[in-house]
Structure 1
Amino acid sequence: MLKKYLTYAFFLLAPAMAMGQETVQEFSLPDTLTLKESIQIGLENNRTLKKAILDEEKAKYQRNEIRGAGLPQFSAYGQYNNFLDVFPQAVPGGIFGGDPNEIQVISLGVPQSLKAGFELNQLIFSNSYLIGLKAAKTGEEFYRILAQQSEEDVIHEISMNYLGVIQLELQKENLRANIDQLESLEKILQSQYDNDLARKVDLNRVKVNLTTIKSEQENLDIVIYQREGYLKLLMGIPVATEINLDQSVADMDQKVKNFQVQDFNIFDRKDIQVLGVQEQLYEYEYKNIKAAKQPQLVGFADFNKNAFSQDFDFLNQNKVWYQGFLIGVKLQIPIFDGMQTKYKAAQSKVNAQQLNLDRLQAEDAAELEYKNAINKYYNSLSTLESLDSNLDLADDVFKETTLLYKEGLSPLTDLLDAETTQREAQANFNNQIIQVRIAQLEILNSSGKITNLLL
């Protein structure tokens, strides 16, 4: 019984995204969907998380199943026998007369019999059962932590993909702004060319740049659509649902500068907690194996009615029914099982030792992950500061070059180069803000505090 439960308890949830079509509840989305709102919707509708919660619910039923083994087991039974040939019995001669030196073969019994009754069994003492109850309670804790871990995974995935979509949308906005600039320049050059004030090659150069950027925008639209689709899948909403994400998540003043680095406590991480509960379950497994060598005491009772006949006349009202009633206690004491218990216990110990190594490895990996996240965060902040200054310079260069071009003091190539440089500087700055936000997420996730995003 315990072994069956432990099989359930040690089964690690394998998160898998359900790709099939499913009817989703009707709900309305706000005009601008914030990161917090996206996470809340995901926690309500994500299918992987729902499966983890169902596993937690199933663990409660498994615990009740184990508890039921210690409650009275009551059943009714009935048995009908029709001996076409009554079994012969050999008895010493002389019992019923005859030569004492001979063996007499006689038929004892009647051809037909009918028996019905009730049977009651009650476990009085079993150390294995008591250990099973403790393991069942620990198993509930195991699945509860797994559900919490799945919740954190959903929060992390939604946050990462939310930021990914914002990053792409910022790139699109940057391209859109540059397209507007180039389209204005194209109109000016077209007018100048029509009046023989500009060269054909300059107009064509602007058109080439404009076509290139528009092509980049079209490719970016495809990537945004795909990334948004995956975000909706994580949130558990229909892919056709229109969403408008809140770009303030990339606001440097609100989201970047005000971030507080979290303290690190390794036991806040759900993966470490899961390994700790698994160690307890292995300990119960070992104790349960050892308990198999201990006595087990069961009480039982049997109340029945019996009838016997030469012919099938049991429905006759005058039929005589004979009553039987039995109570008793059964003590089972294992003595020798071919040393199976010894080797099962040895295997359980080895499993526990392997798990202990896994836990030590996981703790070291978790600490390294947190330190890497902290290092990445501060490096990202430093890079962001440099890119911010670089963007200001690129903006100034582009403004000055535009002014010089309008005054005829700078060639078109300088203007296009300045525009490209300004566009790249803006894209790098936008990407770096997202990288800083991702580094913040990694700090929260590695410290086991990713749920703080819901505060």
Structure 2
Amino acid sequence: MRCTLLLMATLFLSGIHATYGQMDTTRGNYAFNLAECIQYGITHHHDVVNANLDTIFSQEQVKEATAKLFPHGNITGNFTDNLKLPTSLIPDIANGNYNKKIPVQFGTRLSSSITGELDQVLFRSDYFIGLKASRVYRGLSVKTYVRTEIDTRVAITKAYYAVLTNQENIRLSRANLEQLRKTFSDTKARYDAGVAERVDVDRIAVSYNNSVTQIENQIRLLVYSIQLLKFQMGMPQESGLELRETVQDLNVESFSSDTLNYKVEDRIEYGIQTTQIALDELNLKSKKLAYLPQLNFYVNYGFNYFSTYLPDLYKRNFGASALGINLTWPIFTGTERLHQIKELGITLQKSRNDLDFLSQQIKLEVQNANTAYENNKATFVTQKTNMALTQGIYDRIVLKFEQGVATSLDVISAESELTQARTDYINAMLNTLISKTDLDKAMGRIK
């Protein structure tokens, strides 16, 4: 009965492996390497798409600021029904009595007008400053898009590495499971021949069952890591994704840090902060230039209509036209503007202080990321060596067990040590890959 269960478990794992290893590409599924996963994510990820829309939005804002400098035209019309005409007192000129005032009503009951006017700004300081600020803001939105793209690249890379290490973990576990299955089969045959004890069969069976369950758990974790990768890429969960690389293709041991040739200016956050300083400088300049006068030119033309009766209102019109120049000069507005200038000056000073702080923060991040990477890489090299040594110990214990000079407890102990060594190796590999990605990001090398 126990042998039947073990055989079913083996067939079950083989079926899972076949399903995973032969993905159906007839439904439009994808087979990507890391670069292709990143490219897909840049095109489809929610945050990147929205950041790109923000850059397009900023372009429209530049056009909007430019359009304010163009002439503006409008047409106005009105209709008035003077239900009771206003009365004025004038001297009685007709009778020669200038000291006597008589009431007189002027105008008509009904009046209407339509006027077209064209305005053109000749000079207004905040228009030109605003146009320049809108272009700087567009540069800020572009830098923000780049930062979003970098964050997406990092997230995809880390998720990609998690899938590869999970696949490697399953591969190593299956190799050991096959060896354990052979040991169990040989022990069972020796028990049937009467040269092995039942306790040896049961002990190895327990170890084998635990290994089967462990691989099943690893497969479920692999499925989730692929789902996470698709999420970071902006790929629908219903789509299929197969990776065309393995951890062997990465050559983890050849990675280098090279923290001597980086500049804080390479970080996109540094560029964003310098752009913010430029915006603050423009805001301060705009507020200072608000003391300058504003000069506008206008020209209009229209028609006026008057009548006592509505049917006759639009039978006759009287043209009217004017052109002129308006000058507005805010000589004194209290001390409000003076305080606003001081406030903007303080904001500019804070932005410059933030840039200095950011430079120090970037340097510290690089040192921290480099320390983590070097530690993880050293651990990875050690764990890789330890796993090879543990594998050799396990193989020799199994051989001695088959020769009858080692016990089943020795096999179980060696198998447990090999499992732990494999886990440490996989964790060290993943930590090395992730810390290398963090280091590249800290040095501004992920573009």
Structure-1 residue corresponding to 2:39: 40
Given the alignment, which residue of 351, 357, 379 partners 1:355? Answer: 351
How far is 1:239 from its partner? 0.5
Question: What's the offset of the Cα at 1:315?
Answer: 7.0
| 8 Å Cα contact 1:119-1:301 kept in structure 2 | yes
Secondary structure at 1:198 match in 2: coil
Q: What amino acid is the match of 1:450?
A: I
The equivalent of 2:338 in structure 1 is 342
Deviates more, 1:293-302 or 1:192-201: 192-201
Structure 2 residues without counterparts, runs of 5 or longer: 1-25
**Pair 1:426-2:425 in alignment:** no
Report sequence identity in percent. 24
Question: 2:408 and 2:93 mapped to 1: Cα distance?
Answer: 131
CA distance in 2: counterparts of 1:158 and 1:187, whole angstroms = 43
Q: Is structure 2 residue 155 aligned with structure 1 residue 119?
A: no
What's the CA shift for 1:181? 2.4
Whether the 8 Å CA contact 1:35–1:249 is kept in 2: the answer is no
Match of 1:401 in 2: 397
Look up the match of 1:142: 140
Q: Partner amino acid for 1:82?
A: D
Q: Is the 8 A contact 2:257 2:439 kept in 1?
A: no
Distance 1:242 1:29, change over 3 A: closer
SS at match of 1:239: coil
TM-score, length basis structure 1: 0.86
**Structure 1 residues 112 and 427 mapped into 2: Cα distance closer, same or farther (>3 Å)?**
same
Please name the residue that 1:323 is paired with.
Answer: 319
Change in 2 beyond 3 A, CA 1:314/1:248: farther
2:276 pairs with 1:278: yes
Cα distance, 1:345 vs structure 2:
1.7
Q: Closer, same or farther in 2 for the Cα pair 1:96/1:357, shift >3 Å? A: farther
Match of 2:258 among 256, 261, 274: 261
1 CA distance for matches of 2:336 and 2:93? 49
The amino acid of 1:183's aligned partner reads R
Structure 2 distance, partners of 1:228, 1:148, is 25
**Structure 1 residue 75: Cα displacement:** 1.6
Q: Identify if the C-alpha distance between structure 1 residues 30 and 268 changes in structure 2 by more than 3 Å, giving closer, same or farther.
A: same
User: Equivalent residue of 2:309, what SS?
Assistant: coil
Aligned 1:240-259 pairs, distance under 5 A: 240-251=238-249, 254-257=251-254, 259=256
Report the more deviating stretch, 348-357 or 326-335.
348-357
* Aligned partners of 1:90 and 1:103 also within 8 Å: no
Query: What is the CA–CA distance in structure 1 between the aligned matches of 2:94 and 2:299, rounded to whole Å?
Result: 36
Q: Which residue of 1 aligns with 2:129?
A: 131
Aligned to 1:223: 221
5+ residue gaps, structure 1, are: 1-25
Render the CA deviation track for 1:102-156: whole Å, top value 9, x for unaligned.
5544322111112112110000001111111110110111111111111111111
User: Alpha-carbon deviation of 1:186?
Assistant: 2.3
Structure 2 counterpart of 1:200, one-letter code? R
Per-residue CA deviation, residues 410-429 of structure 1 (Å, 9 max, x unaligned), is 11111121122223223322
Opposite residue 191 of structure 1, the aligned amino acid is A
Counterpart among 167, 170, 173 of residue 172 in structure 1? 170
Q: 1:169 to 1:96 in 2, by over 3 A?
A: farther
Which residue type is aligned with residue 53 of structure 1? N
Q: 1:212 aligns with which of 207, 210, 213?
A: 210
In the TM superposition, what is the alpha-carbon distance from 1:73 to its structure 2 partner?
Answer: 0.3
Partners of 1:272 and 1:138 in 2: CA distance: 15
SS state of the match for residue 109, structure 1? coil
The one-letter code matched in structure 2 to 1:146 is T
Structure 2 residue aligned with 1:444 = 440
Cα contact 2:387–2:422 (8 A) shared by 1: yes
Is the partner of 1:233 in helix, strand or coil? helix
Matched pairs, number: 421
Q: 1:184 aligns with which of 172, 182, 185?
A: 182
Q: Provide the residue aligned with 2:233 in structure 1.
A: 235
In the TM superposition, what whole-angstrom CA distance separates every residue of 1:197-231 from its partner, at most 9, and x where no partner exists?
Answer: 33232222222222323333333333322222121
In 2: Cα distance, 1:55 partner to 1:273 partner: 18
